[in-house]
Structure 1
Amino acid sequence: MVQAIDPRTTGIRLRANGITFHCIEAGPKDGPLVLLLHGFPEFWWGWRYQIEPLASAGFHVLAPDQRGYNLSDKPEGRRAYELDTLAKDVLALGEELGYSRYSLIGHDWGGLVAWWAASRHPELIERLIAINAPHPAIAGAYMRRHPSQMLKSSYIGFFQVPYLPEALLAANDHRVLRRALLRTSRAGTFSEQDLVEYRRAWSQPGALTGMLNWYRALPLKPPHRSPDKLRPPVLAIWGMRDRFLEFGLCEDSLALCANGQAQKVEMATHWVHLEEPERINRALIAFLKA
């Protein structure tokens, strides 16, 4: 059984792309760099079962709180959360640590950022692992062809409204967010202690607005103009019982890759890396060392 990293692990502060990030760092400083990019509504704690196994496998691991989340800076305004800016955060963190190439592992929104960073700067990315996360370039077209996915993503429209989503998500000690995690995952995935850690992160000043600004910046998404297939090797891991995202998004994303493969996890949900950490960690390490 994989043991979670201590939630009180002391983080580091890194200045990158004009803001300060709170990050958890582990593993040998001279090992290959792997950046772990969490999604909504998580923070670095979303990688609690992956950080130490990857570090023990010889990787230099960095798990940042992405901009707007937990203890990282929270710039004002939705334009501070455009996809190009989010991708530049990743690249700047790699540069700050002195690496010219590195691998990215992203879940949910973190996976979208990883896809975008690899598409914009493939020369910097060694390998890419996207966990239940589609390439941003295909998401809109897929939804237009599949009303079922549009219905699953309808909450994004509500998140565009100012102020009201923050009030709803904060009410009753973040009850909506807590219930969303529990309702969309397998039983036992999120413990009471996990929810304490998440509530602490959501309660940071400005955090809910920062988190929602990722969605509010979606209408500002720049076009994806690359005529070439994505060059870095890609592994897309997909929990097939995801209540938010259909597997067709994964297939369309891999169609953009020169060397892409999918690994389905039939009984897992959107939170596959938390539900089946031993299996997922084996897959991550094998792919990164291939």
Structure 2
Amino acid sequence: MRTDPRATIAGSDVEAVVSSVGLDSHRRTVNGIELHTVAAGDETNPLIVLLHGFPEFWYAWRAQIPPLVEAGYRVLIPDLRGYNLSEKPGGVKSYRVRESARDVVDLIATENREVAHVVGHDWGGMVAWDLGLRHPGAVDRLAVVNAPHPTAYLRQVTANPEQLSRSLYAVFFQLPWLPERVLQYDEYRILERGLRETAAPETFRDDELARYRRAWSRDGALTGMLNWYRAAARYPPIPRSERVDVPTLIVWGEDDTALVPALAVDSADRCEESRLELLPETSHWVPRETPARLTSLLLEHIDRE
């Protein structure tokens, strides 16, 4: 593992975040691949790692960066493997959740740490769950936003027809090459519409979506992003244990169109110590729709003795 301070990547995405936090953009080699990572805050402060989901990239957490830094934390946000400026290894197997969990363990080590607070949304939340289950020694406190514990998801998708119906889009993603062609059509119109129509009005502005389209258009990005779904179907993330011992906060927008709220309750039941916050009139995109509320919940959870 190494951090290359010379591999700085300037760009409007970084500049769009409040400059006062001193955001750094660089590549770090972890688990045999290079991840583009942004970092902010004093290097000696307690470390928080934020993990984005589909179809976003590190920029999804921009509203949380300044307040977390101002609260006295070091913030580290990677583009997950396959996304945006991070490496896009070949083959579906490379996108197993366990591989990305290993990426995060190594990423924490690049900060000369053995442990960090970990927060994940969507697929980043699935990585966070895997860290809590497979690498609990690397996690101080865990927070998951609209992402189900893997056992809870399996239970709901096999026993709850509503969840099965909501998950059918992922079946289409299993096909080779066709999903990439469909999502690329007309300047990524379907992906853009998927964000706009599943979120509260004005959640995703035009200028922000332009940044997302740039991330989606990078060589190999769409295939890398879709391979997360393909890997989950071919190599299900079955953990060695179903119980999470790490103190866990679960935040759930109840108006999520892809995931039923029962998943949040089932997930909390699989934690030794959990706090569940259900947010009414909030969609899947909690970090974007209720950024101040989410940040407040994270700080309450992390600061708790």
> Which TM-score band applies after superposition, normalised by the shorter structure?
over 0.9
The amino acid of 2:216's aligned partner reads: W
Could you tell me how far apart the structure 1 residues matched to 2:179 and 2:127 are?
23
Q: Of 273, 276, 286, which aligns to 1:272?
A: 286
After TM superposition, give the deviation of residue 225 of structure 1 in Å: 2.7
Other-structure match for 2:163: 149
Misfit runs of 4+, over 3 Å = 4-10
Contact 1:5 1:48 in 2 (8 A): no
Alpha-carbon distance, 1:10 to partner: 4.9
Per the normalisation by structure 1, the TM-score is: 0.96
Deviates more, 1:116-125 or 1:64-73: 116-125
Counterpart residue identity of residue 221, structure 1? P
| Aligned mate of 1:226, from 237, 241, 252 | 241
Q: Which runs of 5+ in 1 are unaligned?
A: none
SS in 2 for 1:93: helix
Which SS does the other structure have where 1:144 is aligned? helix
Distance, in Å, in 1 between the alignment partners of 2:290 and 2:153 is 26
1:138: Cα distance to partner?
A: 2.3
2:181 is aligned with 1:172: no
* Percent identity (aligned): 42
* Residue 61 of structure 2 is aligned to residue 35 of structure 1: no
Q: What's the RMSD between the two structures over aligned residues?
A: 1.4
| Match of residue 255 from structure 2 | 241
1:7 aligned residue: 16
The amino acid of 1:261's aligned partner reads R
Q: Is the counterpart of residue 59 in structure 1 residue 68 in structure 2?
A: no
Partner deviation per Cα, 1:104-162 (whole Å, 9 max, x = no partner) = 10000000110011100112210010001111232122111101001101011100000
Q: Distance in 2 between matches of 1:288 and 1:223?
A: 27
2:176 partner letter: P
Amino acid at match of 2:162: S
Superposed displacement of residue 267, structure 1: 1.3
* Contact persistence 1:83–1:116 (CA under 8 A): yes
Secondary structure in structure 2 of the residue aligned to 1:267: coil
Pairing of 1:117-136 with structure 2 (within 5 A): 117-136=131-150
Give the equivalent residue in structure 1 for 2:199. Answer: 185
Q: How many Å separate the matches in 2 of 1:253 and 1:6?
A: 37
Shift in Å at residue 286 of structure 1?
Answer: 1.4
CA contact (8 A) 1:105 1:114 kept: yes
Instruction: Report the residue type matching 1:226 in the other structure.
Output: S
Deviation at 1:7, TM superposition (A): 3.4
Shift of 1:5: 6.9
User: Is the 8 Å Cα contact of residues 251 and 277 (structure 2) preserved in structure 1?
Assistant: yes
Q: Which residue number in structure 1 is paired with residue 6 of structure 2?
A: none
Q: Distance in 2 between matches of 1:128 and 1:156?
A: 26
Normalised to the residue count of structure 2, the TM-score between the two structures is 0.91
- Would the alpha carbon gap of residues 18 and 91 (structure 1) be closer, same or farther in structure 2, given more than 3 Å must change? same
How many residue pairs were aligned?
286
Contact kept? 2:41, 2:72, Cα under 8 Å: yes
3-state SS of 1:11 partner: strand
Match of 2:126 among 112, 121, 139: 112
Query: In the TM superposition, what whole-angstrom CA distance separates every residue of 1:180-221 from its partner, at most 9, and x where no partner exists?
Result: 000000001100011001000001000000000000001212
In structure 2, stretches of 5+ residues that fail to align are: 1-12, 18-22
> SS in structure 1 opposite 2:176?
coil
Q: Tell whether the 8 Å contact from 2:57 to 2:84 is kept in structure 1 after alignment.
A: yes
Question: How far apart in 2 are the matches of 1:30 and 1:64?
Answer: 19
